[in-house]
Amino acid sequence: QVQLVESGGGLVQAGGSLRLSCAASGSIVSFNAMGWYRQAPGKQRELVATITSGGSANYGDAVKGRFTISRDNAKNTVYLQMNSLKPEDTAVYYCARLGPIIIDWGQGTQVTVSS
């Protein structure tokens, strides 16, 4: 099992930016697609963005044009650059290792956007 550790969350004003990082414990993740998901209080967990092992990205409609997912396979790390943040982006953000199903989850990092 691979351990995923997220960092970079915090409190930011609307319009601000944050960069989340997800560090993986093993190099095998370079062969996996990786993703970011989020869950707001009282809501279902939703897709934020995914990135293939080759670097192709896909985004949820709510974040297109504002968020950018990237990866550094040499560092076993996946990033989520979040710009133009809105209060509705407030949620716990989770990193995930993807296969035919979601294989591993991180513990999550809280992002709070104040208006």
> How far is residue 20's CA from residue 12's CA, in Å, rounded to a whole number?
13
Q: What pLDDT sits at residue 26?
A: 67
> Do 71 and 78 meet the contact criterion of CB atoms below 8 Å apart?
yes
Q: What pLDDT sits at residue 103?
A: 87
pLDDT in tens, 20-75: 999 998 666 778 899 999 999 999 999 999 999 999 999 999 999 999 999 998 89
> How far is residue 98's CA from residue 10's CA, in Å, rounded to a whole number?
25
